[in-house]
Amino acid sequence: MAVSSKKPDWKRVVVKLSGEALQGPQTHGLDEKTLDRIADDLVNAAELGVEIAVVVGGGNFFRGIQGADKGIERARADSIGMLATVMNALALEFAIEKRGWPARALSAVPMPSLCQPYSRQAALHQLGKGRIVILAGGTGNPFFTTDTGAALRGAELSCDAIMKATNVDGVYTADPKKEPTATRYERLTHDEAIAKNLAVMDTAAFALARENRIPIIVFSIAQPDAITAALAGEGKSTLVVP
Ligand code: UDP
């Protein structure tokens, strides 16, 4: 595995991993190979000495907004969505531990028989021990997304950056799937992203990151070693800075 030997600038990061990133080629659920590849990548990144918190989404199982569209009251549908993130967190925790690296899932929705409840202190303690911390349950509240969970944890855990893993290798001038002439930004400020109306993360998440002056790196999780490469400043990405 080609792991960069370059030292990353960031000491502590929060990685936002959508549920979709874990479904691989499937239409939903968890893909074993994809989970293993991402676990490898996270372990390689942790071996560089970076403290890593991962906020996992749940869209590969359930999104509250879709449940609401089908008539489930929104707050309840979001509860189902938050439960979906716990499934992903437990699967990722196991995939990382299988590689001999310690991982701890912490849930913002307390379910102590499955994993530790999230608290800032518990997360900082686990990060300090070098464990990869997997944050389930988003913010723990309905009407939010795990993007916002990532920005919130990024701020409260004093992370140097939010690493937003997507299926596109950065932020483009227009949707590159619809507009073939669209070009990727290498670097942007938070203010430029707003002025140009570019969707980097959802609005609440972006506002939190901007207010707390947290850089956001947007990169594609499709490649092996994507997280490690992004940390080392290699590969394609867009860096959003204050
Ligand atoms: N969710 C929530 N509060 C949060 C985070 C997530 O209610 O703070 C619910 C919401 O229903 C959301 C679902 O969990 O649709 C899964 O999260 P998200 O859509 O962010 O997952 P992703 O799209 O990243 O896979």
**CATH number of the domain that residue 88 is part of:** 3.40.1160.10
The verdict on residue 207 lying in a domain is: yes
Dist. CA 180 → ligand 1 center (Å): 30
Q: What is the rounded CA–CA span in Å between residue 185 and residue 171?
A: 6
The verdict on residue 83 lying in a domain is: yes
For residue 191, give both structure tokens. Answer: 């203010």
- Residue 205: which pLDDT band, with cuts at 50, 70 and 90? very high
Report whether pLDDT(2) > 80.
Answer: no
Residues in the ligand 1 pocket, defined by CB under 6 Å: 18-20, 57-59, 63-65, 78, 81-82, 84-85, 138-139, 141-142, 144-149
Report whether pLDDT(111) > 80.
Answer: yes
The verdict on residue 2 lying in a domain is: no
Whole-number pLDDT of residue 9: 83
- Report the candidate in 85, 143, 148 with the shortest Cα–Cα distance to residue 115: 85
Number of domains in the chain: 1
The verdict on residue 173 lying in a domain is: yes
Dist. CA 139 → ligand 1 center (Å): 9
pLDDT digits (tens, 9 = 90+) for 212-221: 999 999 999 9
- Contact criterion met (CB below 8 Å) for 137 and 146: no
Distances (CA, A) of 227 to 37, 90, 118, 127, 168: 11, 20, 24, 17, 14
Q: What is the rounded CA–CA span in Å between residue 31 and residue 215?
A: 30
Neighbour tally for 190: CB within 10 Å: 20
Q: What is the mean pLDDT of residues 111-118?
A: 98
Tell which wins on pLDDT, 180 or 9: 180
Dist. CA 202 → ligand 1 center (Å): 11
Q: Whose CA is nearest to atom 23 of ligand 1?
A: 59
Dist. CA 78 → ligand 1 center (Å): 7
pLDDT digits (tens, 9 = 90+) for 172-204: 999 888 999 999 999 999 999 999 999 899 999
pLDDT digits (tens, 9 = 90+) for 34-91: 999 999 999 999 999 999 999 999 999 999 999 999 999 999 999 999 999 999 999 9
The verdict on residue 145 lying in a domain is: yes
Place of tokens 């140009």: 196
Q: Which domain holds residue 63?
A: 12-241
Q: CA-based diameter of the chain, in Å? A: 51
The verdict on residue 188 lying in a domain is: yes
Q: Determine the residue of 78, 87, 156, 221 to mutate for testing ligand 1's pocket, defined as the one with the most ligand atoms within 8 A of the Cβ atom.
A: 78
